[in-house]
A and B are shown apart, each in its own frame.
Chain A
Amino acid sequence: GKQQRSILGFFSKA
Chain B
Amino acid sequence: MLEAKLDQASILKKVVDAIKDLVQDCNFDCNDSGIALQAMDNSHVALVSMALKAESFQPYRCDRNIALGLNLTSLTKVLRAAQNEDMLTLRAEDAPDSLNLVFESKADDRISEYDLKLMDIDQEHLGIPETEYAATITLPSSEFRRICTDLMALSESVTIDASKDGVKFSCTGDIGNGAVTLRSHTNVDKPELNVDIELSEPVSLTFSLKYLVNFCKASALSHQVKICLSNEVPLLVEYALENQSHLRFYLAPKIGD
A interface residues (Cβ-Cβ under 8 A, vs B): 1-14
Asked whether, in the complex, the Cβ of A5 is within 8 Å of the Cβ of B126, the reply is no
Interface residues of B in 130-157 (CB under 8 A from A): 157
Stretch at the interface among B24-32, B39-47, B194-202, B239-247: B39-47
Asked whether, in the complex, the Cβ of A3 is within 8 Å of the Cβ of B256, the reply is yes
Asked whether, in the complex, the Cβ of B252 is within 8 Å of the Cβ of A10, the reply is yes
Is B57 positioned at the interface, with any CB of A under 8 Å from its CB? no
Task: Tell me the smallest distance from the CB of B194 to a CB of chain A, in Å.
Answer: 30
Among candidates B125, B157, B234, B254, residue contacting A14 with C-beta atoms closer than 8 Å: B125
Asked whether, in the complex, the Cβ of B127 is within 8 Å of the Cβ of A13, the reply is yes
Is B255 positioned at the interface, with any CB of A under 8 Å from its CB? yes
Is B257 positioned at the interface, with any CB of A under 8 Å from its CB? yes
Complex A-B, nearest 8 residue pairs according to Cβ-Cβ distance, in ascending order: A2-B254, A11-B126, A2-B256, A5-B252, A14-B127, A14-B125, A7-B252, A6-B44
Is B176 positioned at the interface, with any CB of A under 8 Å from its CB? no
Q: Which residues of chain A come closer than 8 Å to B125, judged between CB atoms?
A: 13-14
Asked whether, in the complex, the Cβ of A11 is within 8 Å of the Cβ of B128, the reply is yes
Is B56 positioned at the interface, with any CB of A under 8 Å from its CB? no
Q: Given the known A-B contacts A10-B233, A10-B234, are A5 and B127 also in contact in the complex, defined by CB atoms under 8 Å?
A: no
Among candidates A1, A3, A4, A7, residue contacting B40 with C-beta atoms closer than 8 Å: A7
Is B122 positioned at the interface, with any CB of A under 8 Å from its CB? no
Task: Tell me the smallest distance from the CB of A9 to a CB of chain B, in Å.
Answer: 7
Among candidates B127, B208, B257, residue contacting A1 with C-beta atoms closer than 8 Å: B257
Asked whether, in the complex, the Cβ of B47 is within 8 Å of the Cβ of A11, the reply is yes
Q: Which residue of B lies closest to A3 (CB)?
A: B256
Q: Which residues of chain B come closer than 8 Å to A11, judged between CB atoms?
A: 47, 126-129, 234, 250
Asked whether, in the complex, the Cβ of B126 is within 8 Å of the Cβ of A2, the reply is no
Among candidates B45, B129, B157, B208, residue contacting A6 with C-beta atoms closer than 8 Å: B45
Q: Which residues of chain B come closer than 8 Å to A3, judged between CB atoms?
A: 254-256
